[in-house]
Amino acid sequence: MTNFSYPNYPPQNGYMTEASMLKYISFAMKKKLLPENAHRVAQIISLSASNDIRKPIQFWQLYSVLGRTRVIGIVNKFYERVYDDEKWFSSVFSRIGPINHHVNTQSAMWLDVMGGGFAYHGGEYRLNFHHKHNAYELMNSDGAERWLKLMRLTLDSSEQYMTEDPRVRRSINTFLSHFMTNYAVEFGFDTDGLFGDTNPPLRRKVNFLNMTSDAIEALTEEELREALIGRGVKGIEGDDKVALVNKALSL
């Protein structure tokens, strides 16, 4: 197993880091991708990625792994594809500014959200203004699908920026999918919003010996079953929650 010693780069909050983190955590808790107390779990809200490869990297922790140069490298490759694309798509970007303008602004937003400090001046207000007034011609299904396709191709060809940590790509996919899904809702367009495999659900570690009976009873049936199986308890496939709680209390 590869050993990591993050942070590779000292992270810090930017204009959008904390707000983006809290919005995603709220979404992920509802989808059961993160535990119910995720906003109080130190490793989840930390800006430094976990050195335990079994724990996913949250997208606000990406700067601690990638640093500035790699993030800019990915964004630069993406806009090279954009400016070489069909006129109906690329012309919207060239009308706003040259390629270096988009690389600078997009990478600043990425760095800011990913824990790279105060990089994207204006924060969410600036981002919203850009999509509503500058990029509005592409805030639809056709524009989103072309953007998504080009970004997927970019990420698939950016192995040199991903490091040897296999969690990095899934974290970037999670970041992009989350923002694309929000844009689809805000602007009323359809998209699958998929950039590849995203972060798997993060299960909290359950230790019955350190829990009160009330805390054990508050666990979901799925959490109880997984924790009991992890303790080597067998023959619980057909047990309901009451039976699972009783077995947990008896340990």
pLDDT tens sequence across 50-108? 999 989 999 999 999 999 999 999 999 999 999 999 999 999 999 999 999 999 999 99
pLDDT of residue 191: 84
Whether residues 75 and 100 fall in one domain: yes
> Burial of 65 by CB count in 10 Å (0-12 exposed, 13-18 middle, 19+ buried)?
buried
Q: Which structural domain, as residue segments, surrounds residue 105?
A: 1-204
Whether residues 23 and 72 fall in one domain: yes
Indicate the pTM of the whole model: 0.83
The string of pLDDT tens digits covering residues 178-230 is: 999 999 999 999 888 789 999 998 876 778 888 899 888 888 787 788 888 87
Q: What sign has the CA pseudo-torsion 163, 169, 174, 176?
A: positive
The total number of structural domains that make up the chain: 2
Whether residues 147 and 58 fall in one domain: yes
Kindly give the residue spans of alpha helices, DSSP state H, lying in 84-140. Answer: 87-96, 99-113, 123-129
Whether residues 57 and 177 fall in one domain: yes
Whether residues 188 and 222 fall in one domain: no
Whether residues 192 and 237 fall in one domain: no
**CATH label of the domain that carries residue 31:** 1.10.490.10
Whether residues 218 and 101 fall in one domain: no
Please say which residue of 186, 204, 222 terminates a domain: 204
pLDDT of residue 204: 66
Whether residues 105 and 217 fall in one domain: no
Whether residues 163 and 243 fall in one domain: no
Please answer whether residues 180 and 203 qualify as being in contact, where contact means their C-beta atoms are separated by less than 8 angstroms.
Answer: no
